[in-house]
Amino acid sequence: MATAQLSATPRTSSGKGPARSLRSAGRIPGVVYGHAREPQPLTLDTREFEKLLSHIAAESTVIELSLDGQTTKTLIREIQRHPFKRQILHVDFQELVAGEKVQVNIPIVLMGVPEGVRASGGVMDQTLRELSIRVDPSAIPDHIEVDVTGVQIGHSIHVSELSLPEGVEVLNDPESPVCVVAAPRAVVEETAAVAEPVEGEAEPEVIGRGKEAEEGEGEEKE
């Protein structure tokens, strides 16, 4: 479980005007909430928070938030940014409670070089980069490692095949592919060229088009 420390200051004012003033003064407005506490407004030092974000996985790192003389374990639940300036406008923290599972997204890290890439010139495509899980806060893994060394061309690894720590509940579809090794592009193009029909060759007749297909003709696709 990855952890980090962050200091915050209680905030008494609210509204757009005070929030703009805080940002102009180098502070970010935010809030910490949890099922056992009232939402508590706070402010963060902008530079300190941006520095923290530069070296953590924001969605899965437990933030030990120092606020009003107490330290609370939290997760960052939302970071609102200005659509053009990328300025951080607001941050939401969720208080963690031991024994109460939370939903987080964990990075998927591929380990090794697939056999299909090493021996046959295939191309590795990672189709899923994060895994959505439900887990106790004390057991949040930093990431999930996937050994891909045995994957051949045309083969893939699915969510159901991942090796996960005890107590981790996966929320993704078990049949979702995590990665696949595709054939080299040159081979794919050559195969497609061979499969093209000869000029003048009659196209196969479509038999038994249903009523729904006939009624659907002429409808514009979205």
51 pLDDT higher than 60 = yes
Same fold, 3-96 and 103-194: no
Average pLDDT over residues 190-204: 54
Average pLDDT, the chain: 85
Domain 103-194 CATH assignment equals 1.20.1090.10? no
Fold classification of 3-96 (topology level): Ribosomal Protein L25; Chain P (2.40.240)
C-alpha to C-alpha distance for 43 and 64, rounded to whole angstroms:
15
**With 60 as the cut, is the pLDDT of residue 64 above it?**
yes
Q: Is 173 left (phi over 0), alpha (psi -120 to 50) or beta?
A: beta
Region 75-94 average pLDDT: 92
3-state secondary structure of 176: coil
Confidence band, pLDDT 50/70/90 cuts, at residue 194: low
Q: What tokens appear for 81 in the block?
A: 């940014």
- Please answer whether residues 96 and 76 qualify as being in contact, where contact means their C-beta atoms are separated by less than 8 angstroms: no
Q: What mean pLDDT do residues 109-126 have?
A: 94
Report pLDDT for 59.
86
pLDDT 10s digits, 97-116:
888 899 999 999 999 999 99
**What residues does each domain of the chain span?**
3-96, 103-194
Instruction: Look at strands 3-10 and 37-45 and give their pairing.
Output: antiparallel
User: What is the DSSP secondary-structure string of 17-38?
Assistant: HHHHHHHHTTEEEEEEEETTEE
Q: Each residue of 142-182: pLDDT tens digit? A: 899 999 999 999 999 999 999 999 899 999 999 999 999 99
